[in-house]
Chains A and B, each alone.
Chain A
Amino acid sequence: MSADYLFPHRHILGLGDLAAADIDFILKTAESFKEISQRSIKKVPTLRGKTVINLFLEPSTRTRLSFEIAAKRMSADTFNISGAGSSTAKGETMVDTARNLAAMNPDCIIIRHSCSGSPGLLARHIDASVINAGDGAHEHPSQGLLDLMTVREHKGRIAGLKVAIIGDITHSRVAHSNIIGFCKMGAEVRVAGPATLIPPGIAAMGAQHCRSVRQAVSGADVVMTLRIQKERQQDPLLPSLREYAIFYGITPEIMALAAPDAILMHPGPINRGVELDPALADGPRSVILDQVTNGVAIRMALLYLIMGGE
């Protein structure tokens, strides 16, 4: 990393706000932090005395835990607030919640919320740094970054790679962050899935819409499949999970169309046998658990850069 580079962001609201140089810097920082998690004593004093609040207003286990482990490995004090649904469901507005939290002088608030744009609303009403841990169907930047890190680790580069993202693109904030991130870093992104789950204007985000999974996966260096949310079946988007598995699930036969050294990714949790064949999930091409490991490193890097970075 260049010595005169200063990370210019106080909040991490989405990859849409980050320049390629910022993303590169975050990835390099995370790579240097990854080793800490492999020590027997997995703790450094970097963020000692800093207060991090996990404000998870939508259920989450793995992302919340990943952020908490990241913060604790940097010696920050962490506090968890959880609540189902939106802030108004509890009778308090988001802005009031923000003001109350601000009064306790935290250094960073990590927010997960079912409404798109809510991290920005929080950031406008609080002095602390804000990290978006997933907002509605908008972005999930730390997930996008850990996916970029995992790909770079396995492929040595991102520019020029062919990345296929398969599944529910419309409702997936993971897909949105990945499309933005991979495009910014010079990869070619293709998306495929049922037409009911591909949003209008996806080309404007830089992705190429393929009419079939086969077309998207052919020659791909990275195949990323997304979790199908079973609740989406209420809206007439899918006839059945069975049909989805047959036409849009990733099977060994589909995977054989990808580049010989292609890797397979999934943001988890997996519906085994729906979007992904169980044998593939546990097979040699799967980097799914590497994604989880890298998640901690990326989140350590983000906390460091917005709170303690010098």
Chain B
Amino acid sequence: MSADASILLENARLLDPASGLDEKGYLLVHEGRIVAVAAGSPAGLELPPQLRRIDADGRWLAPGLIDIHVHLREPGEEHKETVASGAAAAAAGGFTAVACMPNTRPVNDSAAVTCQIMAAAAGAAARVYPVGAISVGLQGETLAPFGEMRRAGVRAVSDDGRPVGNSQFMRRALEYAGDHDLLVISHAEDDSLSRNGAMNEGETATRLGLRGIPAVAEEIMVHRELALAEYTGRPIHIAHVSTAGAVDLVRRAKARGVQATAETAPHYFTLTEEAVGLYDTRAKMNPPLRTAADVAAIREALADGTLEVIATDHAPHSELEKELEFELAANGIIGLESALPLSLALVRDGLLSPLQLVALMSTNPARILSVPGGRLAVGEPADLTLIDPDYRFTFQADQLKSRSRNSPFLDWEMQGRAVLTIMDGRITHEVVSVHQG
């Protein structure tokens, strides 16, 4: 893989939350790195030969988007997604890096599996940061070898997909992760409360005759994780926050200095449980879609910084797992290619500034996961996303790069998307209409 010719992006609205820069200017990429970035025109700048000039025409140039919560299904379920197809979907959605959860088959609970994922990621269209398991086989009984997995490339540990039920075990995981500089990501769910539930507990579930998952199943575990983080002095990252109560717990913990961060996903600020309609399995996920009040709380928490990350929880499933009775269908939806358009709606609604949005989708994820990127600064890797906030399109199944189609957003009219993605100086996604100079 060699970097493309040098690239000069001109007339871009530069968005760099790290420095607060929000101005029209240019950015020069050379040999895979950012070598110049400044407001104004590049006149007088010494330009390398073999330069590709791109007139951004006022579109937004952001550091490459980073999704810290995806499922890539390799090894084991390559019919749903591979590392390569997932990375291609990421690039198409404007992402330059993804962190993939360990619930593969086999589980990523050893350096050998981590190495396998890293090998599959070589040459992929996005950087891939594997997340190792907390417990061997996600069984919650034996700590996975954090040190060996760290050496092989993992940046965080999580049993995502299932909670760590035993509080003592979670405490030890937090303590031991500290020795190896690994972030612990919590799938917060008390499964004695959520067990066999198929959607949010409430009026809709009662009407449909479906067993519900109450909000308190999430909130009890968020409360425990925050208490353990406070007690051990170790950071915790709460995955896929979906309830108003969980938001409130995180907000209060942060206020008293707990090292807690938290993410939500676009479906939790876009849809309510009503999306289940008449047993539409495309709206089945865990945690489940919640109420309008929860959606309002999530949106507020993104605006006030309580939730610092928008992740996708990209969970590919084949038709086989979704075209079933609702209670038997698999949980999860794909998200890499719809996340940015859905999140841009928050900017249009006046809830977030463009800089805040970029912080949620790039700068903060890079900081929390301790990976490069997230900034428009000289010397940084050339991971970049050019966003056209006005681009209108229909979100269509046949245009997806992901191997799976399980999305409740199919056929939605969307506004805004990534029109150019550059990873490591290489163009990984380009919508034809990008002007060329």
Give A residues with C-beta under 8 Å from B.
Answer: 16, 86-88, 93-95, 113, 115-118, 120-121, 135-139, 170, 173, 176, 199-202, 204-205
- Please, which residues of chain B bring their CB within 8 A of the CB of A170? 206
Give B residues with C-beta under 8 Å from A.
Answer: 201-212, 278-279, 320, 323-328
Residue on A with the closest CB to B321?
Answer: A93
Whether B328 and A137, one on each chain, are in contact in the complex, defined by CB atoms closer than 8 angstroms, is no
> Known: A137-B209, A201-B202. Contact between A95 and B328, CB under 8 A?
no
Whether A121 and B211, one on each chain, are in contact in the complex, defined by CB atoms closer than 8 angstroms, is no
Q: How far is the CA of A135 from the CA of B212 in the complex (A)?
A: 16
- Extra inter-chain contacts (9) besides given A87-B325, A117-B279, CB under 8 Å: A88-B324, A95-B323, A116-B209, A116-B326, A120-B278, A137-B209, A173-B209, A200-B205, A205-B206
Q: In the complex, which of the residues B201, B324, B327 contacts A200, with contact meaning CB atoms closer than 8 Å?
A: B201
Query: Can you sample 6 A-B contacts with CB below 8 Å?
Result: A115-B327, A121-B279, A136-B209, A137-B209, A199-B206, A204-B206
Residue on A with the closest CB to B325?
Answer: A115
- Please, which residues of chain A bring their CB within 8 A of the CB of B207? 16, 176, 201, 204-205
Shortest CB–CB separation between residue A172 and chain B, in angstroms?
9
Instruction: Work out how many contacts link A and B, with CB atoms closer than 8 A.
Output: 78
Residue on A with the closest CB to B326?
Answer: A117
Whether B203 and A93, one on each chain, are in contact in the complex, defined by CB atoms closer than 8 angstroms, is no
> Known: A116-B279, A120-B278, A121-B279. Contact between A88 and B328, CB under 8 A?
yes
Q: In the complex, which of the residues A118, A120, A201 contacts B206, with contact meaning CB atoms closer than 8 Å?
A: A201
Shortest CB–CB separation between residue B319 and chain A, in angstroms?
9
Whether B325 and A117, one on each chain, are in contact in the complex, defined by CB atoms closer than 8 angstroms, is yes
Do most interface residues of chain B lie in helix, strand or loop, or is the interface mixed?
A: loop
The list of the 10 closest CB pairs from A to B, nearest first, reads: A138-B209, A201-B203, A117-B279, A115-B325, A116-B209, A137-B209, A199-B206, A204-B203, A201-B206, A115-B327
Shortest CB–CB separation between residue A287 and chain B, in angstroms?
26
Whether B212 and A200, one on each chain, are in contact in the complex, defined by CB atoms closer than 8 angstroms, is yes
> Known: A117-B278, A201-B202. Contact between A137 and B325, CB under 8 A?
no
Q: In the complex, which of the residues B205, B208, B278, B320 contacts A93, with contact meaning CB atoms closer than 8 Å?
A: B320
Whether A94 and B327, one on each chain, are in contact in the complex, defined by CB atoms closer than 8 angstroms, is no
Residue on B with the closest CB to A138?
Answer: B209
Q: In the complex, which of the residues B201, B202, B203, B327 contacts A116, with contact meaning CB atoms closer than 8 Å?
A: B327
Q: How far is the CA of A118 from the CA of B281 in the complex (A)?
A: 12
Q: How far is the CA of A135 from the CA of B327 in the complex (A)?
A: 11
Shortest CB–CB separation between residue A46 and chain B, in angstroms?
31
- Please, which residues of chain A bring their CB within 8 A of the CB of B328? 86, 88, 115
Whether B325 and A113, one on each chain, are in contact in the complex, defined by CB atoms closer than 8 angstroms, is yes
Q: How far is the CA of A117 from the CA of B323 in the complex (A)?
A: 12
Shortest CB–CB separation between residue B361 and chain A, in angstroms?
35
Shortest CB–CB separation between residue B226 and chain A, in angstroms?
26
Residue on B with the closest CB to A202?
Answer: B206
